[in-house]
Amino acid sequence: MVDTIKPGSVPISRRDSFNTRDTRTRNLKPFNSGDIKILLLENVSAMAVDILKKAGYQVEFHTKALDKDTLIEKIKDVHAVGLRSKSKLTEEVLSHANKLLTIGCFCIGTNQVDLSYAASRGICVFNSPFSNSRSVAELIIAEVILLARQLGDRSREMHNGVWNKVSKACYEIRGKTLGIVGYGHIGTQLGVLAESLGMHVIWYDILPVMPIGMSRAAGSLDEVLAEADFVSCHVPETPETKNMIGERELALMKPGSYLINASRGTVVDIDALAAALNSGHLAGAAVDVYPSEPLANGPGFESPLRNCPNTLLTPHIGGSTEEAQRMIGIEVATSIVKYINSGASVNAVNFAECDLRAIPSTDLATVRIVNVHQNVPGVLRQINNILADYNVNKQISDSKGDVAYFMADVTVNDPKEINTIYEQVTAIQENIITRVLF
């Protein structure tokens, strides 16, 4: 999978690069930016659309996810795809992506993309793991209060014309214990907000993490479940986290406690949770994610949790705020532009993270070689042998799993030599993708 280039067909740009510390640098571009096609799905932020259009790319925008057959047809001719959580880029879909260079997940999770297969095709995947952390944390705090006061049930009753003023089993959250499962960026922000409201915070994480504020690390998940009045899950979707909160774990929770899940739909056994709610063992739950979610808005949502007592169900909106979507749009769109134009893979999910400092605007003879290859012995030696007759100003190489990434800035005085380098590198048996950036 390679790009075709023609000597002299790509103009040198003297615009400012992404190196904001020195505006006297070149903005590299692989070819006429108008030839770059971007497919954006699921109504990603208008800020992302604006950034990609300002980069000169052709942008096709869709407000919803596409069905598999349509997606396969669309992906054949694009260089980048932007999506949120509903579109599924499986091996079957990606096998038709003949020109695809990068995928932007405008969300935290990347389980909707076959990351290993994408890497094997030289497709770099980016996401935005931190931009919506505050939005999710605020939603959890709101749900803690709503559950403690049974406000979901009271609101539904009022809409049905029923006046039911009660105080039984309604509580303040001050002095209660919040248990956080997964003390990452969302978990830590949630803990800070909870302490500011007078809650005690305990948490469990598989990694050693420095506690923030007065929070306390628990020795095990079971300890959190047994001690907390509210348990909130903030873990990724992995084989280890599938149904990590099941019948056994729910039984360990305090009678009258509450469970909140805004992480991934496979983390909680939904049937077991419904049984714990209907039996009265749990006093309530708030769920924002589900094992299977509709592809589009509208009727038809089914779940065992529907009509369970004091149960808040929301349609995967934890990070759905204007602020979060704007920040996600900026972060992911900028990563896409940087990767296409300069080869920077910083913040990549399935690639080694590499970057080189910008090329000075006065240096018109330097080109950047960007190569993705199979991570086996001897490839770097072959590449360096090809570049041995040229002045290599700087280079970097790193690997992740079975795929390695190489970048080098090379002085080339004769434009015809650019094609020579390109053809020789792409001829290496282990080559996946080679690009030359001017």
Task: Please identify every residue annotated as catalytic.
Answer: 264, 293, 316
Amino acid at 282: L
Residue 156 CB-half CA count within 13 A = 12
Residue 194 tokens, joined? 């909870």
Neighbouring residues of 322: CB distance < 8 A, sequence distance ≥ 6: none
Residue 50 contacts residue 326 (beta carbons within 8 Å): no
Tell me the β-bridge partners of 101: none
Neighbouring residues of 108: CB distance < 8 A, sequence distance ≥ 6: 127, 128, 129, 132, 319
Q: How many CB atoms lie within 10 A of CB 422?
A: 22
Cα angle 180, 184, 186 (rounded to 5 degrees) comes to 75
Neighbouring residues of 404: CB distance < 8 A, sequence distance ≥ 6: 352, 372, 373, 374, 375, 379, 380, 397, 398
Q: Give the relative orientation of helices 416-426 and 379-386 as an angle to the nearest 10 degrees.
A: 160
Tell me the β-bridge partners of 405: 372, 398
Task: Please report the sign of the dihedral spanned by the C-alpha atoms of residue 389, residue 394, residue 398, residue 402.
Answer: negative
Provide Rg for the chain, Cα atoms.
25
Residue 232 tokens, joined? 């909130």
Q: DSSP string of 211-274?
A: --TT-EE-SSHHHHHHH-SEEEE-----TTTTT-B-HHHHHHSPTTEEEEE-S-TTSB-HHHHH
Torsion of CA 413, 415, 418, 420, to 10 degrees: -100
Residue 338 contacts residue 393 (beta carbons within 8 Å): no
Measured CA to CA, the distance from residue 29 to residue 347 in angstroms comes to 20
